[in-house]
Structure 1
Amino acid sequence: MYNMKTEQLERMKHGTGFIAALDQSGGSTPKALRDYGIEMSEYHTEDEMYDLIQQMRSRIIASKAFSSNHILGAILFEKTMERKIDNLYTADYLWEKKGIVPFLKIDNGLEEEKDGVQMMKPIPKLEELLNRATAKNIFGTKMRSVIHEANGDGIHAIVEQQFELGQKIADAGFVPILEPEVDIRSSSKQEAEEMLIGEIENHLKKLDDSMNIMLKVSIPSVAGTYNGLMNDPRVVRIVALSGGYSRKEANELLRQNPKLIASFSRALLSELSVKQTQQEFDAVLLKIIIEIYEASV
């Protein structure tokens, strides 16, 4: 019997390519639209804003440049999951039309900084959200917290929260992407990354052997820092965020880390414009995708 999740898991484990992060939420949407050439004066309500970002995302996903030749998965925002592209819900369009594995961003943003980190805000309707994600054929989830400095208490708390939530998500049938981002501007970034790995290793030891997780991390200060974690059988894949680097910088750093693949958002969307013709848009998007793909493989 055909099992879609098994096929998607194999693709995530062994496929070549990267993950496209198309999950800008309420707070980051105005900037994403502005970068795309749509000013805040051009929309007046939240609904209008989300309609415009959906048009942008649909244009990207439906583009012939956006294909499984280079892209393994795509991370969606909740409102994107609930909407359709060519009469298919976005996750179904990604998998059925493109062969690209759909993920869902599930966090509600960050708490205020404490102990050098920003934990995730509570997700009170998690069960309801995961039920909707199941109905929409989502494969995995992603949630982000941020480490600003090498503070043992803070880093322990962040990893604890990520794994606790990751377990609930795995129990619901998804592959969670845990994203404890280390701020690239941190003056103690390398030390924070070493502490982070120690905490992740401790938590991995407690996991059931059948559990599958992914990690999304900042590109490390020392190349190869995450190689040890990649050998853990429960770690499906480790992906890297661009974290504020330009695409050129992020790609150069990524190349120094074999097996680490991209999961870029801003670095993927830069240079795209609402004013481009479809031909121009497709050409620019393909150029960007190939650059990121080559840095990932």
Structure 2
Amino acid sequence: MSSQVHLEMLKKINTEKGFIAALDQSSGSIQHALRLYGISERQYSGEEEMYTKVHKMNTRIMTSEAFSGDRILGAILFENTLDREIEGLASPDYLWQTKKIVPFLKVDIGLEAEHNGVQLMRPIGGLNDLLDKAVGKNIFGSKMRSFIRLANCSGIHIIVAQQFAIGARILAKGLVPIIEPEIDIHSPEKGAAELILREELLLQLDAIPDSQQVILKLSLPNITGFYNKLIAHPRVLKVVALSGGYSREKANRLLSENTDMVASFSRAFSEELFDLMSHDEFESTINESIDSIYQASNQ
């Protein structure tokens, strides 16, 4: 990627209105995503056919007239999408050149078993090679997710330290990391976990060199404006919200109450999109989804 294109993408994320669409299904969640879309396991055989089905689904979303840079800032892809084309262009190039949507790449490969109330990321073998591949494919940034179930100080400290250690490797490649320590929206200790997480994030952000920034992807907080300190931090390019299992209606309502957070929804974004919809039905439904999330992101 040229430095000029990188600066154009950076400017878009930093200054324009919109949200980030998450199309980064992991190997463990693709079957679930396809079922929600109306495609059962009986309709494909083996991993390659499964990936082809999900790429067809994501292609239908990304080629939709409603899916454009007018309301969408970026889109998070997973590695298999990176290796495929859309309308004759590599997927990241299609997003930027055709839609003016900034491409991101999911780099984590799933979670460890729960310990100290959290699930760390599994070791990411070949991360350097994947990041080099991302740079070569004109990816702007990358995303990695870990999971917090309980307000355990030790667990949350370790999970944030892991995120920022990998984030430093991503920054060293010239990419912008999306740091995603998700908190379980059903946790009985969600509010307490948010307090610990916020302080751990501030400590790690303070240690980032002046010339670098990260994006934070967080569960919508119990208290409105709870993450304003993070939003205002000079090392934070953007704070985006995951839907975390909320319906789109509820996620949008909570998001609209948190000024300056914008959406990075996955399931809530693709809610009510189905394989057997006609072209007009699909276009109408995705346009309504995009518009509702855009409005909630820009209150």
User: TM-score band (shorter)?
Assistant: over 0.9
**3-state SS of the aligned residue for 1:238?**
strand
Aligned pairs (5 A) from 1:235-274 = 235-274=236-275
Structure 1 equivalent of residue 54 of structure 2: 53
**3-state SS of the aligned residue for 1:3?**
helix
Query: CA RMSD, aligned part only?
Result: 0.8
Q: Distance in 1 between matches of 2:168 and 2:40?
A: 40
Structure 1 equivalent of residue 82 of structure 2: 81
Structure 2 equivalent of residue 293 of structure 1: 294
Shift of 1:120: 0.2
Shift of 1:110: 0.3
1:88-147 deviation per Cα after TM superposition (whole angstroms, max 9, x unaligned):
001000000000000000001000000000000000100110111011100000000001
Q: Distance in 1 between matches of 2:3 and 2:26?
A: 34
**3-state SS of the aligned residue for 1:143?**
strand
Structure 2 equivalent of residue 157 of structure 1: 158
Structure 2 equivalent of residue 223 of structure 1: 224
1:278 aligns with 2:279: yes
Q: Distance in 2 between matches of 1:28 and 1:221?
A: 27
1:71-104 deviation per Cα after TM superposition (whole angstroms, max 9, x unaligned):
0000001100110001100100000000000000
**3-state SS of the aligned residue for 2:204?**
helix
Q: Percent identity?
A: 50
1:35-73 deviation per Cα after TM superposition (whole angstroms, max 9, x unaligned):
111110111110000000000000100110101111000
Q: Distance in 1 between matches of 2:117 and 2:194?
A: 13
Q: Distance in 2 between matches of 1:69 and 1:204?
A: 30
Structure 1 equivalent of residue 63 of structure 2: 62
Q: Distance in 1 between matches of 2:3 and 2:46?
A: 43
The number of equivalent residue pairs is: 297
Structure 1 equivalent of residue 188 of structure 2: 187
Structure 2 equivalent of residue 6 of structure 1: 7
Q: TM-score, normalised by structure 1?
A: 0.99
Provide runs of 4+ in structure 1 moved above 2 Å: none
Q: Distance in 2 between matches of 1:101 and 1:90?
A: 11
Q: Distance in 1 between matches of 2:3 and 2:97?
A: 14
Q: Distance in 1 between matches of 2:15 and 2:146?
A: 27
Letter in 1 for 2:244: G
Q: Give the unaligned 5+ runs of structure 2.
A: none
Letter in 2 for 1:281: F
Shift of 1:278: 1.3
1:237-288 deviation per Cα after TM superposition (whole angstroms, max 9, x unaligned):
0000000001111001001101000000000111111101111111100000
Q: Distance in 2 between matches of 1:295 and 1:100?
A: 19
Letter in 2 for 1:61: M
Letter in 1 for 2:121: M
Q: Distance in 2 between matches of 1:98 and 1:257?
A: 28
Structure 1 equivalent of residue 113 of structure 2: 112
Structure 2 equivalent of residue 92 of structure 1: 93
Letter in 2 for 1:35: L
**3-state SS of the aligned residue for 2:178?**
strand
**3-state SS of the aligned residue for 1:192?**
helix
Shift of 1:2: 6.6
Q: TM-score, normalised by structure 2?
A: 0.98
Q: Distance in 2 between matches of 1:245 and 1:2?
A: 38
Aligned pairs (5 A) from 1:126-165 = 126-165=127-166
Q: Distance in 1 between matches of 2:26 and 2:145?
A: 12
